[in-house]
């Protein structure tokens, strides 16, 4: 059973546009929601993360929106650039125990 | 910088020939993980060490073994690699009770010929 559901599977956005990737979860024990960015041939790198006590977190062009009641969270990339082209994974984690679950990934392509 | 380092970056091995991948960390995290990632898929957890305690995922083949001789190092041994074991192998660390998620290494790309 997929603990974290991610959509869309792939996304194509024009340079300067907004990229939006959505994730949903069921387990209310999750208390940490990171997003990872992965370039081809590289390991996933932590991009931004949020805890359920806030509804939004912004770092530069990247924003996480979190809806605790709906058990959904999303990544918004503003002013998308070709260098943002990568695979993005959402994840959910519960502590203690560090149970960690990846979403299925979204391949983002930003076209010039 | 504190980090997770994986060696080698690329490994080519023959079908059936044992191979070992290594991971080291300077973060002093007590948990180390090995993931297998195939093309266009999410990483799949193989096993993890919580300090010296080994935890195997139920669907990890017996062909995969791991060793953690100390806090800093962890090894992935593939006893008899098959063509289906060709993948990116990712090492990650975390700190139980910590406020952050996982830190990943850059991975080892394994090719089986």
Q: What is the CATH number of the domain that holds B20?
A: 2.60.40.10
A2 within a domain of the structure (yes/no)? yes
CA A27 from centroid of its chain's CA atoms? 17
Determine contact, residues A92/A32, Cβ cutoff 8 Å: yes
Interchain pair A95, B42: CB under 8 A = no
B26 within a domain of the structure (yes/no)? yes
A104 touches chain B (CB under 8 A): yes
pLDDT value at position B40? 85
A5 within a domain of the structure (yes/no)? yes
* pLDDT surpassing 90 at residue B96: no
Which tens digit of pLDDT belongs to each residue from A53-110? 999 999 999 999 999 999 999 999 999 999 999 999 999 988 766 678 899 999 999 9
B57 within a domain of the structure (yes/no)? yes
Q: How many domains does chain B have?
A: 1
Determine contact, residues B66/B2, Cβ cutoff 8 Å: no
B69 touches chain A (CB under 8 A): no
A89 within a domain of the structure (yes/no)? no
For B84, which DSSP code?
G
| pLDDT band, residue B98 (cuts 50/70/90) | low
Interchain pair A97, B94: CB under 8 A = no
> Structural domain of residue B97, as residue ranges?
4-106
Which tens digit of pLDDT belongs to each residue from A73-85? 999 999 999 999 9
Interchain pair B101, A43: CB under 8 A = no
Q: Which residues of chain B does A54 touch, with a Cβ-Cβ cutoff of 8 Å?
A: none
> Structural domain of residue A19, as residue ranges?
1-31
Question: What is the residue whose two structure tokens read 């560090």?
Answer: A98
Given the DSSP bridges, would you call strands B108-112 and B10-13 parallel, antiparallel or unpaired? parallel
Given the DSSP bridges, would you call strands A106-111 and A10-14 parallel, antiparallel or unpaired? parallel
A79 within a domain of the structure (yes/no)? no
A101 touches chain B (CB under 8 A): no
For A83, which DSSP code?
G
A21 within a domain of the structure (yes/no)? yes
pLDDT value at position B65? 96
């Amino acid at each position: 059973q997929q603990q974290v559901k991610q959509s869309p599977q792939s996304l194509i956005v024009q340079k300067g546009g907004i990229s939006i990737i959505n994730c949903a979860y069921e387990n209310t024990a999750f208390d940490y929601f990171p997003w990872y960015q992965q370039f081809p041939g590289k390991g996933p790198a932590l991009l931004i993360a949020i805890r359920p006590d806030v509804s939004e977190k912004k770092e530069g062009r990247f924003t996480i929106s979190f809806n605790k009641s709906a058990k959904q969270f999303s990544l918004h990339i503003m002013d998308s650039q070709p260098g943002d082209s990568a695979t993005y994974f959402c994840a959910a984690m519960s502590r203690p125990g560090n149970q960690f679950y990846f979403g299925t990934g979204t391949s983002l392509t930003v076209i010039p | 910088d504190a980090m997770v380092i994986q060696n080698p970056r690329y490994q080519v091995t023959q079908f059936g020939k044992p191979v070992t991948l290594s991971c080291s960390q300077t973060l002093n995290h007590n948990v180390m993980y090995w993931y297998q990632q195939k093309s266009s898929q999410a990483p799949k957890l193989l096993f993890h060490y919580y300090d010296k305690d080994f935890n195997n995922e139920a669907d990890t083949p017996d062909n995969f073994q791991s060793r953690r001789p100390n806090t800093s190092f962890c090894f992935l041994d593939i006893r008899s690699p098959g063509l289906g074991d060709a993948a990116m192998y990712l090492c990650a660390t975390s700190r139980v009770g910590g406020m952050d998620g996982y830190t990943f290494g850059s991975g080892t790309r394994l090719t089986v010929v």
